[in-house]
Amino acid sequence: MNEIYIDIGWAVVFSMVGGIIRHPADPRRHDAHTPHPEQADPNLNEDKEIARGNRAVAEYFGRVVGSTIIAIGIVIAAAILGGIIAALF
């Protein structure tokens, strides 16, 4: 049983090291991405706009937050599943 935990630990270590190595080597990370909303309009206050009834900002903000939550969940699920599969084989 301890071997499974060791294998899961190694899977986590390899995933972290691969991510750290991959991040600076990613050619798309600076130029290809669309600008962050704060870079496009740094003075936009989402809370004030939503309170004023600006539905466009509210819907956009909701989509950004929702997609972020889904993406984080997918990454966590993939890491857990990869660790389990690595431990079982």
pLDDT digits (tens, 9 = 90+) for 6-43: 888 888 898 888 877 776 666 556 555 556 655 666 67
- The residue among 86, 88, 44 whose CA lies nearest residue 64 is 44
Percent of all residues in the chain with a pLDDT value above 70, rounded to a whole number: 76
What was the pLDDT predicted at 45? 79
What was the pLDDT predicted at 7? 85
Specify the residue for token string 């990869």. Answer: 82
pLDDT-derived band at 81, boundaries 50, 70, 90: very high
